[in-house]
Amino acid sequence: MTESATPTLEVHDLHVEVNDKEILKGIDLVVSKGEVHAIMGPNGSGKTTLASALLGHPRYRVTQGEIRYRGENIADWTPDARARAGLFLSFQYPAAVPGVTLVNFLRHALNQRRGQDVPVREYTQLLNDAMAKLKVDREFARRYVNDGFSGGEKKRAEILQMAVLKPEIAILDETDSGLDVDALRIVAEGVNRLLGPDLGVVLITHYNRILNYITPNRVHILYAGRIVTSGGRELADEVEAKGYDPFIPVGAPA
């Protein structure tokens, strides 16, 4: 990113309430395409609240600050408007949609993303290319969305959505949650195949293990609704070795 370029996603002094309780208490974050930012923190620190607020979940109310996407404040945008513009959220616990095949779900989502119906031949080629790139069997797309999927299959389905929709910023909310070592490696390899100059990633995680596969440009520690420190990849290694306690400011609320 050049010094004069506008970052893709900018969060300034973001305060967010849930059920009249303030969870985020002044978040600042700048993410550009081509970068991977890891957000780490203990349970209850506000990681999922941040992900939900960025995508406009109505339960998460922005009371102060800005969320700027490509230079425009989107704090009042609806979730579908943010998704169409190129923001993507991978859920910690993806929901099942019985009766809707993944191939049909993805085509409808792509039509919404582009604002027009994508010709069947073009869509089929795009989907096939995405599955080949991610090494996903073609039969996978004919199954109902997340219905009967293992934890690893659910996360792979979301990575396939990323490949088809081509977001500019992807927020991955604890993608490593509930995955065994083999499933984690497969999902991380899928994310790595999609990384490049046209995609920025906010990788939210509780543990260091996914960062053994996906290398972040920046690591931020979130505690009690605030980012208390930031650094390079080595910061995640320090958390792994020492835990979060050394990074919590003296006198910080629990």
Backbone angles phi, psi at 121, to 5 degrees: -65, -45
From residue 238, give the alpha-carbon distance in Å to each of 3, 122, 204, 235: 30, 47, 17, 5
Residue 195: give its domain's CATH number: 3.40.50.300
Q: Tell me the pLDDT tens digit for each residue of 14-40.
A: 999 999 999 999 999 999 999 999 999
pLDDT value, residue 175: 85
- Classify residue 123: in a domain, yes or no: no
Q: Tell me the pLDDT tens digit for each residue of 238-251.
A: 999 999 988 887 66
- Classify residue 184: in a domain, yes or no: yes
- Classify residue 197: in a domain, yes or no: yes
- Classify residue 208: in a domain, yes or no: yes
Q: Tell me the pLDDT tens digit for each residue of 163-212.
A: 999 999 999 998 888 788 888 888 899 999 999 999 999 999 987 889 99
- Classify residue 150: in a domain, yes or no: no
- Classify residue 207: in a domain, yes or no: yes
- Classify residue 154: in a domain, yes or no: no
- Classify residue 139: in a domain, yes or no: no
Do residues 221 and 229 lie in contact, with contact meaning Cβ atoms separated by under 8 Å?
A: yes
User: Residue 1's pLDDT band (boundaries 50, 70, 90)?
Assistant: very low
Whether the per-residue pLDDT at 96 is higher than 80: the answer is yes
Burial of 45 (0-12, 13-18, 19+ CB in 10 A): buried
Q: Which domain holds residue 202?
A: 9-95+168-247
Do residues 41 and 203 lie in contact, with contact meaning Cβ atoms separated by under 8 Å?
A: no
Count of structural domains within the chain: 1
Average pLDDT over residues 74-97: 93
- Beta-bridged to residue 14, according to DSSP, are 27
